Structure 1
Amino acid sequence: MDVKEHNTYEEQINKLIERGCEIKSQDYAVNVLKRVNYYRLSAYFLPFKQSDGSYMSDTNLERISGIYEFDKRLTVMLCGLIEEIEVFIKTQIAYYHSLTYGALGYLDSNNFLPTKADKHKDLIDLFNREVQNNSDTLFVKHHNKNYNGQFPLWVAVELFTLGNISQFYSQMTAADKKLICKNITELTGYEYQYKQLESLLFCLTHLRNKCAHFTRLYYHKFGTIPKFPKYVSKEIKINPNNMRIYQYLFILKLLTPVPDRWNNFVTELEALIDTYSQQINLKHIGFPTNWKDELLSSFT
């Protein structure tokens, strides 16, 4: 199969019209396509696409553009909360691992599961590359100069990604995982087992990566099902074949250490949904009609 030929803005617009998308203004359409790649934008037409490839009769570019803007703003909101959770998880893991094994205990594979020795080596090798890549960063220069390139864990985690810290937790012994999980749940106010926390961190990493690259969340189905505690599974509808962003929001709820922060997030989310209520369809992102009550539920 040959690679498709490049299309001008006008040709892209004609393609949309041919498929049934209403274009009310040629100038508006050109401006949209100048800002958003045609291929990227085309993914937002998926809910409106029929079996023959044409679009439903109510499909227009203004609505698609509105859905895109909603998705972008939702992603920005999620990035902010995920960052706070990432810092929180790093803080807890660094504190309790260092308390048990010392500042440099994270470098010793004997302090982790024997079955994860190879993965632990890979993680440390990755960390060392990050040290080299960030050699001009102030705290890296400081530790290279004054501590012979030795980084205590509470400093090292500043170079860890969320994926790294998720892997770090998965490599720890069951006893260490339980201790850290216990302290995390005491701060969040929600109980879950260490294996569930491991799953939540893994899924959160996937969500974080999608947000970091501004990959589409609207109408996206997640392939990995988080291991939620039973009290969550009883409260919300979990369909493994239709895992949308709504279900993934409960990962953030369970991992947010400050209740007011979560409540504020839900308030901001409600305002965002109200702003784009004429463009979006809540079913496309997995939201039930009582979504706000569920997101604010205390699970009692």
Structure 2
Amino acid sequence: MVETRTEEKPYPYYCLEPDMNKNMKQFLNFEKIKEELGKPSIYNNAIVKIKNEDEQEVKNFLVNHNYYSFSIYKKQLPIRENSIFDFKDCLEIYEFDSILRNNLQKFTGDIENLVKASLINSLCSHYEGELQVGECYLDFSIYSNSENAQEMIKTFGKRTYSSAQSLPIKHHIKNKEGYLPLWVIVPELTFGETTHFISLLHEEYRKKWIHDLFLTKEYYAKEVALYPHIISSATSWIRAGWFIRNRSAHYGRIYGLPFQIVPPTFYAPTIRKLKALKLKKKDDNKDLFAFMLSIKQVLLCHDSIVQHEWDIFIDEIHSKLEGSEILSPDKMGFPDNYCRFLLINEKPINEKQSIKLQACFTWKND
């Protein structure tokens, strides 16, 4: 029978109070926003003007979009001799950032589902302990140590409690006496909780899972000499997907973002080509390009439809960048011929799409 327990634990928080020195910035109305946009930026000297005929459209935009979040896009405008820009130039960056965020949220969601499904299949296929297969997550032997086992089992319990209204959980609480199989409980975890679960597993189970997810796929299976590299790098690729997923889900900026987390590992054949072309070094892995390469490495394990959708997304990025004087590949760490490295298939499924991607897939002579 399911049992509920509570723990008294200190919960850290900031003690917020009024600023008695009155140093907080003032709220800006529309006229003040116009004035602020018209001042040269200390980052790129950009001055942003709003045309009289565009004022109502801009006002409508700012009703639905927080200016304090939007103002960062002024700093992302290119440095150029003519430093006066139109408000629509900022809007172009904002809209491109939305394209990046929405698509990356979709693809990292695909990765989240892939990771969870593969983890369930791998653990249940390889578990030979004393418990029922569906209860393997309760067996301390699958974890690297007992402390990690206790920590993760508590996490499972907390997540189950917070998901009590989820139909599968509700069904098992009501009709199965609260005994939850792995395939019911893992889908309720966040992506972060799932990656943490993986990190706490005994090395034997973690390596078997990576083998099942990556090394059984055609793209990786033939690279026998790279198996140790793939096994050691795979979790960094998935962690990169988790970071992008989390940032996208909270509407965080992607374009021009400096990535301040542990960076992913380049896939060895890819970094060799990048270095040979003098496009990247091994430690140039703290930008969007490196994180998107990691997402691609995981999507190579997904089905052909998702891979095709990814290639269409890369083509859309290429089209936007090629047709713009405002957007810059450098802001994302994109090198020359970035399509060569980000695309999965040179020949897409759709013939019309193939014609579009032919221009994108420009190969530089080695």
Q: Same fold (TM over 0.5)?
A: yes
Aligned-partner residue type, residue 289 of structure 2: Y
CA distance in 1, matches of 2:162, 2:169: 10
Aligned-partner residue type, residue 240 of structure 2: C
2:104 aligned with 1:74: no
Structure 2 gaps of 5+ residues are 1-20, 41-46, 128-132, 224-228, 275-279, 346-366
2:39 aligned with 1:18: yes
Deviations 1:142-193 (A, max 9, x none): 1111221121111111111111111111111222122111111123723653
Runs of 4+ in 1 over 4 A off after TM superposition: none
SS in 2 for 1:150: coil
SS in 2 for 1:59: strand
CA distance in 1, matches of 2:254, 2:187: 27
Aligned equivalent of 1:266, options 308, 311, 320: 311
Residue in structure 2 matched with residue 253 of structure 1 by the alignment: 296
**Contact residue 253 and residue 295 of structure 1 kept, 8 A:** yes
CA distance in 2, matches of 1:258, 1:294: 19
Q: What RMSD over aligned residues (CA atoms) do the two structures have, in Å?
A: 2.5
**Worse-matched range after superposition: 123-132 or 178-187:** 123-132
Residue in structure 2 matched with residue 228 of structure 1 by the alignment: 266
CA distance in 2, matches of 1:288, 1:34: 37
Residue in structure 1 matched with residue 198 of structure 2 by the alignment: 169
**Worse-matched range after superposition: 259-268 or 1-10:** 259-268
For residues 13 and 239 of structure 1, do their structure 2 counterparts lie closer, same or farther at Cα, with a shift above 3 Å needed?
A: farther
Structure 1 gaps of 5+ residues are none
**Contact residue 218 and residue 285 of structure 1 kept, 8 A:** yes
CA distance in 2, matches of 1:6, 1:105: 55
**Worse-matched range after superposition: 267-276 or 214-223:** 267-276
Q: Which has the higher helix share?
A: 1
Aligned equivalent of 1:140, options 142, 151, 169: 169
SS in 2 for 1:189: helix
Q: Percent identity?
A: 23
Aligned equivalent of 1:195, options 232, 250, 263: 232
Aligned-partner residue type, residue 138 of structure 2: L
Matches within 5 A, 1:1-300: 2-19=23-40, 20-24=47-51, 25-48=54-77, 57-101=83-127, 102-114=133-145, 117-185=146-214, 186-187=216-217, 189-190=219-220, 192-223=229-260, 224-236=262-274, 237-238=280-281, 240=283, 243-256=286-299, 257-275=302-320, 277-278=323-324, 279-296=326-343
CA distance in 2, matches of 1:11, 1:39: 12
> Number of paired residues?
293
Length-normalised TM-score, structure 2: 0.73
Aligned-partner residue type, residue 46 of structure 1: K
- Offset at residue 120 of structure 1 (A): 3.8
Structure possessing the higher relative contact order (Cα contacts under 8 Å, 6 or more residues apart): 1
For residues 143 and 98 of structure 1, do their structure 2 counterparts lie closer, same or farther at Cα, with a shift above 3 Å needed?
A: same
**Contact residue 98 and residue 104 of structure 1 kept, 8 A:** no
